[in-house]
């Protein structure tokens, strides 16, 4: 109390001093940037800030299920890359499982397959043929086998079936729609050239069905004239068809179209003193003469025609000239008008005159 009093220490307050930036000194003009608060710039509604559309999307994205976790189920099934990879993986796994299953079944089948049965081989039994004492085998000759085909000097007659029908004929002019192209006629018009004669009727009488004026069919450029160099018969055939000599004797000639159907002309021999009826009985196996009618070509060559117009016979001296239609496996014919034309144009010798078309038959299509 009586001694020297202690001096109290002065404690200075801890004051945080902010220094003015150097940009403000020496007359410098600093660039001042003010930081605005996001909360201050947003409008307020009912005491809560109203978010913009962008902020709302960001907030929804951050608060959505699975946000921030790429392996979450929601994120995986919405990723198309993951779906493609997963689908391929499933296919590979299924393929492996299926392959293993069939491999297992195959091995299982092999394990239970029975052993092959060995064939039993027996000794052959010798049988001695018994020969009748009353018949000598050295003098017995086999009887000839009779078939539906007639063979004469290597030439056989094959007759078309009587059950064959005719293909579609839209305009009913006796020319099928397929055959109309051969004669440049209209398959929808029965009288292409408008001359009051049906197209099939004009071909039957060897006139051009597509010509505006009366014109012979041979002058139309649609058909050609065939002349046999050995037997000298002649007939018309479509210009687009192929002609083939079946044998070197020119007894068998084939007129063919690209569809496979063809018309054949064969020369058959007649024995001395043999009538046509007896020749027919010996060579037209399976045919009935009652199915044939008398027939004349335009050149007055007489013969016989089967009622379906698919077979013709022209007897001449010691020979018979046969005209046959051959179809494919189909049960219909496409070119019946062609064999009619060929038979109607059939001629011997050098006859070239075609009779005038009869007017009274202008509305009748011949059978």
pLDDT digits (tens, 9 = 90+) for 34-46: 555 554 455 555 5
Average pLDDT over residues 63-69: 65
Better pLDDT: 251 or 111: 251
Segment among 13-22, 144-153, 330-339 with least mean pLDDT: 144-153
CA distances for 78 relative to 66, 74, 85, 223, angstroms: 12, 6, 13, 76
pLDDT digits (tens, 9 = 90+) for 346-361: 999 765 555 444 443 4
Better pLDDT: 264 or 109: 264
Give the confidence band of 91 by pLDDT, cuts at 50, 70, 90: confident
Of all residues in the chain, what percent carry a pLDDT higher than 70?
64
pLDDT digits (tens, 9 = 90+) for 247-303: 889 999 999 998 889 999 999 999 999 999 999 999 998 999 999 999 999 999 999
CA distance 26 to 22: 9
Counting every residue written for the chain, the total comes to: 367
| pLDDT at residue 197 greater than cutoff 60 | yes
- Mean pLDDT, the chain, whole residue set: 78
DSSP labels, 128-174: PPPPPSSS-TTS--PPPPP-SSEEETTEEE-PPPTT-EE---TT-SS
Beta partners for residue 266, in sequence order: 252, 322
Q: Which domains does the chain carry?
A: 150-169+223-352 (3.40.1000)
Predicted pLDDT of residue 349: 79
Average pLDDT over residues 230-236: 95
Give the confidence band of 213 by pLDDT, cuts at 50, 70, 90: confident
The counts of H helices and E strands in the chain are 7, 15
Strands (E), the chain: 44-45, 48-49, 150-152, 155-157, 165-166, 223-227, 234-238, 242-245, 252-256, 262-269, 292-296, 302-306, 311-316, 319-326, 332-333
Is the pTM higher than 0.85? The answer reads no
Cβ proximity of 240 and 221 under 8 Å = no
pLDDT digits (tens, 9 = 90+) for 138-192: 444 444 333 344 555 556 789 999 999 999 999 999 999 999 999 999 999 999 9
CA distances for 352 relative to 201, 267, 318, angstroms: 20, 22, 24
């Amino acid at each position: 109390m009586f001694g020297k009093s202690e001096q109290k220490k002065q404690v200075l307050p801890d004051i945080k001093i902010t220094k003015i930036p150097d940009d403000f000194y020496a007359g410098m003009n600093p660039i001042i940037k003010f930081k605005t608060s996001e909360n201050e710039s947003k409008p307020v509604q009912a005491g809560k800030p109203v978010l913009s559309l962008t902020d709302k999307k960001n907030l929804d994205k951050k608060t959505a299920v699975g946000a921030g976790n790429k392996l979450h189920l929601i994120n995986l099934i919405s990723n198309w890359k993951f779906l493609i990879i997963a689908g391929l993986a499933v296919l590979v796994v299924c393929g492996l499982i299926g392959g293993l299953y069939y491999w297992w079944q195959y091995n299982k089948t092999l394990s239970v397959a029975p052993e092959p049965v060995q064939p039993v081989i027996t000794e052959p039994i010798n049988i001695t043929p018994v020969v009748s004492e009353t018949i000598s085998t050295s003098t017995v000759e086999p009887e000839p086998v009779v078939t539906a085909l007639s063979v004469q000097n290597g030439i056989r007659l094959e007759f078309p079936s009587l059950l064959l029908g005719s293909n579609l004929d839209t305009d009913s002019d006796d020319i099928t729609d397929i055959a109309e192209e051969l004669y440049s006629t209209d398959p929808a018009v029965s009288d292409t050239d408008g001359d009051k004669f049906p197209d099939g009727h004009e071909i039957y009488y060897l006139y051009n069905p597509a010509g505006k004026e009366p014109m012979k069919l041979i002058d139309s450029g649609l058909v050609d004239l065939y002349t046999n160099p050995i037997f000298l018969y002649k007939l018309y055939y479509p210009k687009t068809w192929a002609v083939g000599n079946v044998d070197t004797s020119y007894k068998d000639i084939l007129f063919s179209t690209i569809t496979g159907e063809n018309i054949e002309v064969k020369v058959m021999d007649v024995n001395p003193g043999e009538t046509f009826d007896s020749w027919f009985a010996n060579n037209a196996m399976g045919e009935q003469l009652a199915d044939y009618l008398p027939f004349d070509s335009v050149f007055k060559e007489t013969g016989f025609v089967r009622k379906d117009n698919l077979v013709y016979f022209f007897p001449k001296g010691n020979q018979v000239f046969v005209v046959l239609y051959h179809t494919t496996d189909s049960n219909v014919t496409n070119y019946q008008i062609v064999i009619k034309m060929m038979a109607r144009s059939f001629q011997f010798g050098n006859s070239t005159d075609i009779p005038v078309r009869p007017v009274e038959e202008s509305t009748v299509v011949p059978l």
